[in-house]
Amino acid sequence: MVVQKFKDLGAVVEEVDMSYDLLKAALPTYTIISNSEATSNHSCLDGIKYGLRASGESVDDVMINSRTEGFGDHIKRRFILGNLALATENQERMFRQAQRVRRMIVDEMNRIYQDYDIILTPNGGGIAPFVQEAKDDDRLSDQYLILENHLCLGNFAGTPSLSLPTGFKDGMPIAVNVMGRIFEEQTVLNVAYALQESLTFKNQYCRGDKA
């Protein structure tokens, strides 16, 4: 539907292939880089100079207690992964390798931008899953690795990226992602605005009721 809308508006829409292997590598690459950056950026939150300060009998106790009490379980897991990737013995095969793969993905995107103004992708593989469905997801499947992780592409390249609701499936909203060249935010906004104006549900709630 969205592709046809763009065609009706006068846009030239064509399918472009990206390397299947690179698309499968996007999530692992993002996981390694983002967790490493989070670990490094939050290392100053030691309870001494910055961040929450918890009590302790020594400086080491204060830092350990502060970081234990100041971060939730999810963030702690990110720090563990980040520390693993940044460890001296792992940097080359994890962090540096992830950076090289990121560069390859960005080069692939720039190749597309030589001929096209916008990269249009699904926002995800479908509607947001229910809790039980999310627990049962196979996050190593090709479908999950590729269809559910288009949003990290814009993060890799540092390019403007916008997600726009475009319709409903089973009463739940679905969306597309619009990405443009670096520093061409206005083009992304113009394209998204034109699409939004052509759709008839922009003021509806997710169950389809008018606001």
pLDDT of residue 41 exceeding 70, the answer is: yes
Taking residues 135-140, report their average pLDDT.
Answer: 56
* Residues 106 and 193 placed together within one structural domain of the fold: no
Q: What does the alpha-carbon distance between residue 195 and residue 178 come to, in Å, rounded to a whole number?
A: 11
Where does the pLDDT of residue 38 fall: very low under 50, low under 70, confident under 90, or very high at 90 and above? very high
Taking residues 127-134, report their average pLDDT.
Answer: 67
* Residues 80 and 143 placed together within one structural domain of the fold: no
pLDDT score, position 70: 85
Of 145 and 189, the one with more pLDDT: 189
Burial of 53 (0-12, 13-18, 19+ CB in 10 A): middle
Beta bridge partners of 177: 121, 163
Domain end residue (candidates: 115, 149, 171): 115
Q: CB neighbours of 192 closer than 8 A, spacing ≥ 6?
A: 162, 164, 178
pLDDT score, position 106: 96
Where does the pLDDT of residue 88 fall: very low under 50, low under 70, confident under 90, or very high at 90 and above? very high
* CA-based nearest residue to 18, from 132, 141, 131, 150: 150
Domain end residue (candidates: 87, 115, 143): 115
Whether the CB-CB separation of 166 and 176 falls below 8 Å is answered with yes
Structure-token match 């606001």, residue found: 211
Domain end residue (candidates: 115, 140, 168): 115
Residue 198's domain comprises 1-16+116-211
Where does the pLDDT of residue 111 fall: very low under 50, low under 70, confident under 90, or very high at 90 and above? very high
Taking residues 133-154, report their average pLDDT.
Answer: 65
Where does the pLDDT of residue 202 fall: very low under 50, low under 70, confident under 90, or very high at 90 and above? low
Q: CB neighbours of 201 closer than 8 A, spacing ≥ 6?
A: 165, 167, 168, 208
Other C-beta atoms closer than 10 Å to the C-beta of 26 total 22
Of 19 and 127, the one with more pLDDT: 19
* Residues 121 and 211 placed together within one structural domain of the fold: yes
* Averaged confidence pLDDT in the chain: 85
* Residues 120 and 207 placed together within one structural domain of the fold: yes
pLDDT score, position 48: 86
Taking residues 117-135, report their average pLDDT.
Answer: 77
* Residues 203 and 120 placed together within one structural domain of the fold: yes
Other C-beta atoms closer than 10 Å to the C-beta of 116 total 15
Q: What is the pTM of this model?
A: 0.79
